[in-house]
Amino acid sequence: MSKFLSDDASHRLTVGDVAKRSGVAISAVHFYESKGFIKSLRSAGNQRRFSRDVLRRIAVIKVAQRIGISLASIKTALSELPEGRTPTAADWKKLSARWRVELDDRIANLTELREQLTDCIGCGCLSLEACKLRNPLDELSERGSGPRLMRFESQTQNEKE
Protein backbone atom coordinates (compact mmCIF):
# COMPACT_ATOMS: atom_id res chain seq x y z
CA MET A 1 0.00 0.00 0.00
CA SER A 2 1.35 3.43 -0.92
CA LYS A 3 0.96 6.82 0.72
CA PHE A 4 -1.98 9.06 -0.02
CA LEU A 5 -1.81 11.40 -2.99
CA SER A 6 -3.85 14.42 -2.01
CA ASP A 7 -4.41 15.93 -5.48
CA ASP A 8 -7.22 14.06 -7.21
CA ALA A 9 -8.72 11.96 -4.45
CA SER A 10 -12.19 12.50 -5.87
CA HIS A 11 -11.21 10.48 -8.95
CA ARG A 12 -10.16 7.54 -6.89
CA LEU A 13 -12.34 4.58 -5.98
CA THR A 14 -13.27 3.27 -2.56
CA VAL A 15 -12.94 -0.44 -1.89
CA GLY A 16 -16.73 -0.68 -2.24
CA ASP A 17 -16.58 1.05 -5.64
CA VAL A 18 -13.92 -1.35 -6.83
CA ALA A 19 -15.86 -4.38 -5.61
CA LYS A 20 -19.11 -3.20 -7.21
CA ARG A 21 -17.58 -2.19 -10.53
CA SER A 22 -15.40 -5.25 -10.89
CA GLY A 23 -18.02 -7.72 -9.69
CA VAL A 24 -16.00 -9.21 -6.87
CA ALA A 25 -16.51 -9.24 -3.11
CA ILE A 26 -14.88 -6.58 -0.98
CA SER A 27 -12.92 -9.37 0.70
CA ALA A 28 -11.52 -10.31 -2.72
CA VAL A 29 -10.32 -6.73 -3.25
CA HIS A 30 -8.57 -6.87 0.13
CA PHE A 31 -7.13 -10.27 -0.78
CA TYR A 32 -5.75 -9.04 -4.11
CA GLU A 33 -4.22 -6.09 -2.34
CA SER A 34 -2.69 -8.24 0.39
CA LYS A 35 -1.10 -10.45 -2.30
CA GLY A 36 0.27 -7.46 -4.20
CA PHE A 37 -1.93 -7.73 -7.30
CA ILE A 38 -3.31 -4.25 -6.77
CA LYS A 39 -2.26 -1.25 -4.73
CA SER A 40 -4.17 1.40 -2.88
CA LEU A 41 -3.46 4.86 -1.65
CA ARG A 42 -4.67 6.36 1.61
CA SER A 43 -7.15 9.20 1.93
CA ALA A 44 -6.74 12.01 4.44
CA GLY A 45 -9.03 9.98 6.67
CA ASN A 46 -6.73 6.95 6.22
CA GLN A 47 -9.18 5.08 4.02
CA ARG A 48 -8.14 3.01 1.02
CA ARG A 49 -8.47 4.64 -2.37
CA PHE A 50 -7.78 2.90 -5.67
CA SER A 51 -6.88 4.25 -9.07
CA ARG A 52 -9.16 3.12 -11.88
CA ASP A 53 -6.59 0.82 -13.42
CA VAL A 54 -7.26 -1.73 -10.66
CA LEU A 55 -10.52 -2.53 -12.46
CA ARG A 56 -8.58 -3.76 -15.48
CA ARG A 57 -6.09 -5.64 -13.31
CA ILE A 58 -8.94 -7.40 -11.51
CA ALA A 59 -10.58 -8.21 -14.88
CA VAL A 60 -7.34 -9.87 -16.02
CA ILE A 61 -7.06 -11.78 -12.73
CA LYS A 62 -10.67 -13.00 -12.90
CA VAL A 63 -10.39 -14.17 -16.51
CA ALA A 64 -7.12 -15.95 -15.76
CA GLN A 65 -8.62 -17.62 -12.70
CA ARG A 66 -11.66 -18.65 -14.71
CA ILE A 67 -9.46 -20.65 -17.07
CA GLY A 68 -7.61 -22.20 -14.15
CA ILE A 69 -4.40 -20.18 -14.10
CA SER A 70 -2.91 -20.24 -10.62
CA LEU A 71 -2.55 -17.03 -8.63
CA ALA A 72 1.21 -17.61 -8.58
CA SER A 73 1.32 -17.72 -12.40
CA ILE A 74 -0.90 -14.65 -12.66
CA LYS A 75 1.33 -12.77 -10.27
CA THR A 76 4.43 -13.76 -12.20
CA ALA A 77 2.87 -12.70 -15.49
CA LEU A 78 1.75 -9.34 -14.11
CA SER A 79 5.11 -8.71 -12.47
CA GLU A 80 6.84 -9.18 -15.82
CA LEU A 81 5.09 -6.14 -17.22
CA PRO A 82 7.33 -3.06 -17.33
CA GLU A 83 7.19 -1.17 -14.05
CA GLY A 84 4.34 -3.38 -12.92
CA ARG A 85 1.93 -1.51 -15.14
CA THR A 86 -1.63 -2.58 -15.70
CA PRO A 87 -1.89 -4.80 -18.78
CA THR A 88 -2.60 -2.89 -21.98
CA ALA A 89 -4.55 -4.45 -24.84
CA ALA A 90 -1.22 -5.57 -26.36
CA ASP A 91 -0.11 -7.06 -23.03
CA TRP A 92 -3.40 -8.88 -22.74
CA LYS A 93 -2.96 -10.36 -26.22
CA LYS A 94 0.40 -11.80 -25.18
CA LEU A 95 -0.83 -13.05 -21.81
CA SER A 96 -3.95 -14.65 -23.26
CA ALA A 97 -1.89 -16.34 -26.00
CA ARG A 98 0.48 -17.77 -23.37
CA TRP A 99 -2.39 -18.94 -21.19
CA ARG A 100 -4.10 -20.45 -24.23
CA VAL A 101 -1.09 -22.76 -24.62
CA GLU A 102 -1.30 -23.71 -20.92
CA LEU A 103 -5.02 -24.37 -21.28
CA ASP A 104 -4.43 -26.53 -24.37
CA ASP A 105 -1.84 -28.57 -22.44
CA ARG A 106 -4.22 -29.08 -19.54
CA ILE A 107 -7.04 -30.10 -21.86
CA ALA A 108 -4.74 -32.63 -23.55
CA ASN A 109 -3.68 -34.04 -20.17
CA LEU A 110 -7.25 -34.25 -18.92
CA THR A 111 -8.39 -35.88 -22.15
CA GLU A 112 -5.68 -38.52 -21.74
CA LEU A 113 -6.67 -39.09 -18.10
CA ARG A 114 -10.30 -39.46 -19.15
CA GLU A 115 -9.34 -42.13 -21.68
CA GLN A 116 -7.30 -43.96 -19.06
CA LEU A 117 -10.16 -43.74 -16.57
CA THR A 118 -12.48 -45.14 -19.22
CA ASP A 119 -10.22 -48.23 -19.35
CA CYS A 120 -10.69 -48.60 -15.58
CA ILE A 121 -14.47 -48.49 -15.68
CA GLY A 122 -15.71 -51.98 -15.00
CA CYS A 123 -12.18 -53.27 -14.40
CA GLY A 124 -11.19 -52.74 -10.78
CA CYS A 125 -7.76 -54.39 -11.06
CA LEU A 126 -5.72 -51.33 -9.96
CA SER A 127 -2.77 -53.34 -11.21
CA LEU A 128 0.69 -51.82 -11.38
CA GLU A 129 1.22 -53.66 -14.65
CA ALA A 130 -2.09 -53.08 -16.40
CA CYS A 131 -3.58 -49.88 -15.03
CA LYS A 132 -2.14 -46.68 -16.49
CA LEU A 133 -3.71 -44.58 -13.74
CA ARG A 134 -2.19 -46.79 -11.04
CA ASN A 135 1.24 -46.73 -12.66
CA PRO A 136 1.28 -43.58 -14.81
CA LEU A 137 5.03 -43.51 -15.32
CA ASP A 138 5.21 -47.26 -15.91
CA GLU A 139 7.85 -47.40 -13.16
CA LEU A 140 8.33 -51.14 -13.43
CA SER A 141 9.37 -50.87 -17.08
CA GLU A 142 12.47 -48.96 -15.96
CA ARG A 143 13.69 -52.16 -14.29
CA GLY A 144 13.59 -54.03 -17.60
CA SER A 145 11.11 -56.00 -19.66
CA GLY A 146 9.04 -58.94 -18.52
CA PRO A 147 7.26 -59.62 -15.26
CA ARG A 148 9.44 -57.38 -13.11
CA LEU A 149 7.18 -57.45 -10.06
CA MET A 150 7.19 -61.25 -9.89
CA ARG A 151 11.00 -61.35 -10.33
CA PHE A 152 11.41 -58.71 -7.63
CA GLU A 153 9.11 -60.58 -5.26
CA SER A 154 10.85 -63.92 -5.78
CA GLN A 155 14.26 -62.24 -5.46
CA THR A 156 13.17 -60.70 -2.16
CA GLN A 157 11.86 -64.06 -0.99
CA ASN A 158 15.15 -65.78 -1.94
CA GLU A 159 17.09 -63.19 0.01
CA LYS A 160 14.99 -63.93 3.10
CA GLU A 161 15.65 -67.65 2.82
List contacts with ligand FES (CB under 6 A).
119-120, 123-127, 130-131, 133
**CA 128/CA 62 separation, integer angstroms:** 40
* 40 Cβ contact partners less than 8 Å away, ≥ 6 residues apart: 1, 2, 15, 33, 48, 49, 50
- For the CB of residue 96, give the shortest distance to ligand FES in the complex, in Å: 37
**CA 54/CA 2 separation, integer angstroms:** 14
- For the CB of residue 135, give the shortest distance to ligand FES in the complex, in Å: 9
Question: Of the two residues 76 and 127, which places its CB atom closer to ligand FES in the complex?
Answer: 127
- For the CB of residue 127, give the shortest distance to ligand FES in the complex, in Å: 6
Question: Of the two residues 103 and 131, which places its CB atom closer to ligand FES in the complex?
Answer: 131
- For the CB of residue 36, give the shortest distance to ligand FES in the complex, in Å: 44
Question: Of the two residues 123 and 150, which places its CB atom closer to ligand FES in the complex?
Answer: 123
Count of beta carbons in the 10 Å neighbourhood of residue 38: 24
Question: Of the two residues 80 and 115, which places its CB atom closer to ligand FES in the complex?
Answer: 115
**CA 54/CA 120 separation, integer angstroms:** 47
